[in-house]
Amino acid sequence: MNIVITGASRGIGNAVAKKFAAAGYTLLLCSRKKETLEEAAMDIKITFPQCEIFTMAANLADKTEACSFADWCLSHGIPDILINNAGGFLPGNILEEAEGALEDMMNNNVFSAYYITRKIAPMMIKNGSGHIFNICSVASLKAYDGGGGYSISKFALNGFSQNLRNELKPHGVKVTAVFPGAVLTDSWQGFDNSTGRIMEVNDVAEMIYAATKLSAQAVVEDIVIRPQLGDL
């Protein structure tokens, strides 16, 4: 089975890639930096030598590159699972954030998923099966101080997910929106998590993997996962 994962060189995307590699899936991985992506793929291959891995570096905030990546994925066959994880985070309030911050995060967090999905989903429909995950955020659900353009873009990704679910449900294609709270990724670089205050990337990967194991007639529409002590 083929699984496409964007933003796969680190963080949640990398953890998800390792989880599915352990299960023997064929991985089609993407991130912006070629060297970092190839290093991540090599690390996975060493740990899971039975896993087939293909990589393509692309800036998915660019429509042309996003569409090229989707076409490349389809050249390997119709994906069984698509995980739209690529994204960016720039903190700031709406009235204070840098000019262009919203546009940058909309391109990274929303349009990357939009254009890739518009290429791949029709092929899943043709197959009568498939599963699409959009990695949203608890910032998709509630405004917070410093959320600004990031929260707006994640609200938009949630809206995309809900509409996509409505469109694809008659065709056997599942859509799951994932809403993680604070997770120990680069966005929390330097954070002292020795007390386990925030989640590990594997927590999110485990939930995504579990959601793929239901019968064809069942779907997990939303996964909301937060630190045990709540949001920070």
Report pTM: 0.96
Catalytic center residues: 150
Residue 58: predicted pLDDT? 98
pLDDT (0 to 100) of residue 185: 85
Dihedral over Cα of 105, 103, 142, 222: its sign: negative
The pLDDT, as a whole number, for residue 187 is 76
Sequence ranges of the domains in the chain:
2-225
Residue-wise pLDDT for 156-214, tens only, equals 999 999 999 999 999 999 999 999 999 988 778 788 898 989 899 999 999 999 999 99
Residues of the chain with pLDDT under 70: none
CATH node for 2-225? 3.40.50.720
